[in-house]
Amino acid sequence: MFNQYHKLPLFLYTVLCVRLSSRALNTFEELNMTNYLERGIKELVEEFISSGKPCPSKQTISERRAGYLSSTVLAGSSPEMADEFVDELDGIQVKVYKPSDKIDLPITIYFHGGCFISGGFETHEAQLRQLAHLSETIVVCIKYRLAPEHAYPSAHDDVFQAALGIKEHGHKYGGDTEHVFFVGDSAGAQLALATALRLKNKKLWLPEKQILIYPMVDPLGVSDSYQKNGTDFIITAQMLLSGFQLYAGESERLASEKELNLLARKDLQGLPPTLIITAEYDPLRDEGEQLYRLLLSQGVDAYCERYLGVIHGFYQLSGVSESARRCIRNIANAIKN
């Protein structure tokens, strides 16, 4: 049961302070909201603003991928693994991170983010090692096909097929396939949830728990946080929405495809205990918290934590963010407990 999470210092912020009136002061500079950002995050955002707020959606795909990879300098240190290697399951690459030589460790399947167009083992290396070390699980990250070279449902099909392969063959990594967890960030959280729904509806198996880090579940971006947090906090609304568009096309399809528009799903009942993590200054904040309420309304044992003073992508900024380091510890504890 999800009440196992009561041991964690996690809570849902249901009442937020209204710090300044946006009716009196309209621009980001006037509001000076950087004062409410965590120090390391604040420096990054101020540099972004002083550079003219460049939007990656205007870059080429190659530039966006290279930019994501270069951001890993902010990921902080990572522990050594007892073993790490790339394997192939049904034609899909996975990378395995083993924190020790113990056998029958639980398995964490990781679904990486990157707006469906970027990301992979290299962009998440530090977090994958940290998570394996802290959770004492074998972490297996899936390398799915990326847009725009591979359109919807390529990524969804890849992660589903890989999850089946990990469940079937995880014992060869020394893992206990009876204890499998899902963790994903951003577009990866979307893929994790969609995979769990496929598994449930096909009456196969389910992860023991799923942890969704700022899930990207509204392909139309209609929430208030898309408006309030959409231009000034490095990962912009247009950047996120362009990922959906490059993967699946125009808004009509995005709204109608049930594996993309997950907030429209009526079949969430029966999903495993779910922890959702959101960030205060993230365009995706509101949809993550809406998903939390939707899960509860359909009988899922769900929990949500909003991290204050941070932005989309903070989870990968352990080198400059204490919240990122705390987030990884809390995720590991949620898996262990």
Please check the confidence at residue 223 and state whether its pLDDT lies above 90.
yes
d(CA 74, CA 320) in angstroms, rounded, equals 6
pLDDT band at residue 253 under the 50/70/90 scheme: confident
Question: pLDDT (tens digit, 9 = 90+) per residue, 191-216?
Answer: 999 999 999 999 999 999 999 999 99
151 located within any domain: yes
Q: Which of 39, 134, 131, 118 is nearest to 71 (CA)?
A: 118
Question: pLDDT (tens digit, 9 = 90+) per residue, 35-88?
Answer: 899 999 999 999 999 999 987 778 999 999 999 999 999 999 999 999 999 999
Residue reference for tokens 């922890």? 275
Describe the strand order of the beta sheet including 92-98 as a list of residue ranges. Answer: 83-89, 92-98, 138-142, 105-111, 175-185, 210-213, 274-281, 302-311
CB 94 within 8 A of CB 140: yes
31 located within any domain: no
28 located within any domain: no
d(CA 92, CA 30) in angstroms, rounded, equals 49
The length of the chain is 337
CB 21 within 8 A of CB 292: no
State mean pLDDT over 163-186.
98
Please check the confidence at residue 9 and state whether its pLDDT lies above 50.
no
48 located within any domain: no
Whole-prediction pTM: 0.91
Which residues, including other chains, have CB under 8 Å from residue 230's CB and lie 6 or more apart? 221, 236, 237, 238, 283
CA 242 vs CA 48, 55, 71, 236, 279: distances in Å:
19, 11, 20, 10, 20
Looking at the DSSP bridge assignments, the partners of residue 281 are 311
286 located within any domain: yes
H helices within the chain, ranges in order?
28-31, 39-50, 61-70, 121-135, 154-169, 187-201, 224-228, 237-248, 251-256, 285-297, 322-336
Angle between helix 154-169 and 187-201 (nearest 10): 70
- 148: domain CATH number is 3.40.50.1820
Tokens found for residue 58: 């205007």
d(CA 95, CA 330) in angstroms, rounded, equals 23
What is the number of domains present in the chain? Answer: 1
Range of the domain at 301: 2-12+55-336
46 located within any domain: no
49 located within any domain: no
Question: pLDDT (tens digit, 9 = 90+) per residue, 302-328?
Answer: 999 999 999 999 999 999 999 999 999
Average confidence score pLDDT of the chain: 91
25 located within any domain: no
d(CA 122, CA 138) in angstroms, rounded, equals 17
